[in-house]
Structure 1
Amino acid sequence: MRLTVYLAGEIHSTWREEIKQKVLALNLPVDFIGPMENHDRSDNIGEEILGEQTSAVFKDAAASSFNNLRTSVLMHKADLVIALFGEQYKQWNTAMDASTAIAGGKPVIIIRPEKLHHPLKELSAKASATVETSDQAIKALSYIFE
C-alpha cells in the first residue's frame, strides 16, 4: 500500500525536504504533494492565466482562486495531511488547509511547538494527532505501515 501525503505549511523553509529525506531513508511507501512552493509563481498565477489585473486586490483574488483550485484537487487525492505550524511565519494558509482537510474527513497530523498549544487547541482537538516535531510526525506516519 502506498500513501499520498499532503504537506501543508509555510513555503519559506526546507521542512518539506527534511521530511521527504527522512521518510525516504525509512523506505516508507509514501508520495508527497503540497502547495505551490514557488512563491512568485503562486503570487502571479492569476495574472499568468487571466492577464494583468487592475489592482493588487484583484491580482491577489485571481491568484487565490487558482491556488485554491490546485490545493483542492491535490488535497482531495491525499490520504493524509501533515500540517506544520512553525513560529517564524504567519500561519493562515496552514490553518485553512488543516481545517479544510479535517472538514473533508482527511486524517490530519498537526506539527506545532508547545508554544503554539493555546492558539491551536481547537484545531488540535479536531486533528487525528498533534505532535511537536517533524520526527514525531514521521514516527506516526511510520506506525501506519506496521
Structure 2
Amino acid sequence: MDLTVYLAGQIHDDWRETVKTKAREKNLALTIVGPQTNHERSDNVGEDIIGKQPASVHKDDAASSINNFRTQVLLQKSDIVIALFGEKYKQWNTAMDASTAITMNKPTIIIRPESLVHPLKELSNKADVTVETVDQALEVLQYIYE
C-alpha cells in the first residue's frame, strides 16, 4: 500500500529530505509531496504566470493565490499530512496548512518541540497525533504497515 504524505512546514532547510531518507530506510511505501520549496519560484510564480504586477503587495497576492491552489490540490490528494513546527522560523504557513488539513479531515500528525506545546495546544488537540520528532512521526506511519 502506497500512501501519499503532504509535508507541511517551513522551506528553509532540508527536513523533507531527512523524512524521505528515513522513510526509505524503514522501507515505507510513501509518496512525498509538499509546498514549493524553491523560495524564489514560490515568490515569483504569480508574475511568472500572469505577468508583472504594479506593486509588491499585488505580486505577493498573485503568488499566494497560485501557491494556495497548488497546496489545496496536493492536500486533497494526500492520504496523510505531517506538519513540522520548528523554533527557528515563523510558522504561519505551517499552521495554515495544518488547520486546512484538519478541516479537510485528513489524518494529521503535528511535529513540534516541547517549547511550542503552549502556543500550539489548540492545534495539537485537533490533530490526530502530536509528536516531538521526525523519527516519532515516521514510527507512527510505520505502525500503519504492521
Q: TM-score band, normalised by the shorter chain?
A: over 0.9
The residue aligned with 2:7 is 7
**Partner letter of residue 121 of structure 2?**
K
Q: Deviations over 1:88-114 (max 9, x none)?
A: 000000000000000000000000000
Q: What corresponds to 1:88 in structure 2? A: 88
Structure 2 gap ranges (5+): none
The corresponding residue for 1:127 is 127
Residue 137 (1) aligns with residue 137 (2): yes
Secondary structure of the 1:106 match is coil
Please identify runs of 4+ aligned residues in structure 1 that moved more than 6 A. Answer: none
Secondary structure of 2:27's match?
A: coil
Structure 1 distance, partners of 2:128, 2:138, is 14
Gaps of 5+ in 1: none
Task: Write the mapping of 1:1-146 to structure 2, written as runs, cut at 5 A.
Answer: 1-146=1-146
SS of the aligned residue for 2:6 comes to: strand
C-alpha separation in 2, matches of 1:28 and 1:45:
33
How far apart in 1 are the matches of 2:53 and 2:83? 32
Displacement of 1:133 in angstroms is 0.5
| 1:39-69: CA deviation from partner (whole Å, max 9, x where unpaired) | 0000000000110000010000000000000
Identity of aligned residues (%): 65
CA distance in 2 between counterparts of 1:144 and 1:124 reads: 20
Q: CA deviation at 1:9?
A: 0.2
Cα offset, 1:73, TM superposition: 0.4
The one-letter code sitting in structure 2 at the alignment partner of 1:93 is N
TM-score by length of 1: 0.99
SS in 2 for 1:28: coil
